[in-house]
Amino acid sequence: MGEEDTRRQSLNVARMKLLGAEVVAVTSGSKTLKDAINEAMRDWVTNVHDTHYMLGTVAGPHPFPTMVRDFHKVIGEESREQMLEITGRLPDAVLACVGGGSNAIGIFNAFIPDANVRLIGLEAGGDGVETGRHAATITGGTPGVLHGTRSYVLQDKNGQTVESHSISAGLDYPGVGPEHAYLHDVGRAEYRAINDDAAMNAFALLSKTEGIIPAIETAHALAGALIIGNELGPKANLLINLSGRGDKDVQTAAQYFGIPL
């Protein structure tokens, strides 16, 4: 894990350690997910005889994007069934946050053949896509190759990866799963950027109104739902992937809202 993320996700690090894992902090480059992936790949090629490589998102070389999608697709299959059962129809839109895009592809997958269901991915807009300090790869990136996959990448004119920025560690990645790039290019899914502030507002709203503290990643999808809900009106059914709990983010959120710890 990038050193910066071991700080932002210290509770997750403690959990992993309690479960017996060894967690190595990566200090190269931007010290976030991108560099952790670089180091994991370096370790893997060195120890390939007795080591498996696993990636938490739908990026990286084939077949990892497909494998990770298939591990995540149950959420889409079950929620599609339940939407039909409970509301009697398919949702008007399915929303999920997108960093690498694993939870999003997991919930989108079952709905891809349902042409009338809008699939909407919410990327991390950071300080705003126009500031250059963001992680909205599809919204603000260009086609390129990173970590063995061809997709959208945040890069400069020489093809060097540009560092991403987001309040959410899980979305702070300058690449995106290739299937999302495809769904975007063929027009099946749409992608929008949600700035840090909008995500944190949605984070506070769900916490206060539902008593559920969402992950900051997930708060981007919630912020998107507020916008799409306004666009589609009160009769629309939105399916939002509440992909993570915010326990791990309480420290970051407290800091953001100025709550003394």
Binding site for another protein (CB under 8 A): 28-29, 34, 38, 41-42, 45-49, 144-148, 150, 153, 155, 157-161
Neighbour tally for 254: CB within 10 Å: 12
CB nearer to another protein: pick between 62 and 208: 62
Three-state SS across 48-114? CCCCCCCCCCCCCCCCHHHHHHHHHCHHHHHHHHHHHHHHCCCCCEEEEEECCCHHHHHHHHHHCCC
- If the CB atoms of residues 121 and 144 are measured against another protein, the closer one turns out to be 144
Give the nearest distance from C-beta 34 to another protein in angstroms: 7
In angstroms, what is the minimal distance from the CB of 174 to another protein? 9
Nearer to another protein, 147 or 165 (CB): 147
Number of residues that this document lists for the chain: 261
Per DSSP (E only), the strands in the chain are: 93-98, 118-128, 133-135, 142-146, 149-153, 189-195, 238-240
The residues facing 26 across adjacent strands are 2
* Rounded Cα distance, 3 and 8, in Å: 9
**Can you say whether the dihedral through the CA atoms of 159, 160, 165, 171 is positive or negative?**
positive
Alpha-carbon distance 17 to 99, whole Å?
25
CB of 137 to another protein, least distance (A): 14
Q: Among residues 28 and 255, whose Cβ is nearest to another protein?
A: 28
Instruction: In angstroms, give the least distance from the CB of 163 to another protein.
Output: 9
What's the min distance (Å) between Cβ of 27 and another protein? 10
Question: On the CB side of 37, how many CA atoms lie within 13 Å of its CA?
Answer: 22
Please say which residue, 43 or 114, places its beta carbon nearer to another protein: 43
Q: CB-wise, 160 or 255, nearer to another protein? A: 160
Structure tokens at 24: 């190595």
Shortest Å, Cβ 39 to another protein: 9
The answer for residues whose C-beta is within 8 angstroms of residue 44's C-beta and 6 or more apart is 51, 53
